Amino acid sequence: MSTQGKTGTAGELPGQLLRFVLVGVAATCAHYVVALMSASAFNLYAANLLGYTTAVAISYFGHQRYSFQLAPEAVSHRAQLPRFVLVSLSGLALSYLILALMKSLVGAPDWLSLAAAVGLVAVYTFLANKYCVFRASAPAPDTPGIRD
């Protein structure tokens, strides 16, 4: 596995997409299993929050290290984690917007509205993670080699 300090070239795009999907599937499965297992100890909403938090952690580290294969010196939790959380939350908001538009403006059936939301948000989150969250960032000049 190659590590790099940037998000790669166009030739690496198919591999990044496949790895992105695999991390997403793993995070989704973890969300479900953790929520299901903790639902007997907590109410359903708390269990879902615990599952969601687990999925976000798997997604963050999975995309950082596996999907986009950032080299250790390219990792900056101080810069990347807030952007990742913003992309995650904006993706959730975008999915609700797409559902509302598909339902109210287009009158689409639920299955089509969900498919559009899931598909479009997946494209959005891939591009946002690739070009905004996990882009190469140079260390600050006054702190060479310092990682956060």
Averaged over successive runs of 10 residues, the pLDDT of the chain (148 residues) comes to 50 90 95 94 92 94 94 93 95 93 93 92 94 72 48
Structure tokens at 76: 């900056």
Specify whether the CB–CB gap between 68 and 134 falls below 8 A: yes
- Residue 28's pLDDT is 94
pLDDT of residue 60: 97
> Contact 69/9 with Cβ under 8 angstroms?
no
Q: Write down the pLDDT at residue 143.
A: 47
* CA gap 67, 32 in Å, rounded: 21
Burial zone of 134 (CB within 10 Å; 0-12 exposed, 13-18 middle, 19+ buried):
buried
pLDDT of residue 13: 87
* Predicted local confidence at residue 35, as pLDDT: 93
Residue 12 confidence (pLDDT): 86
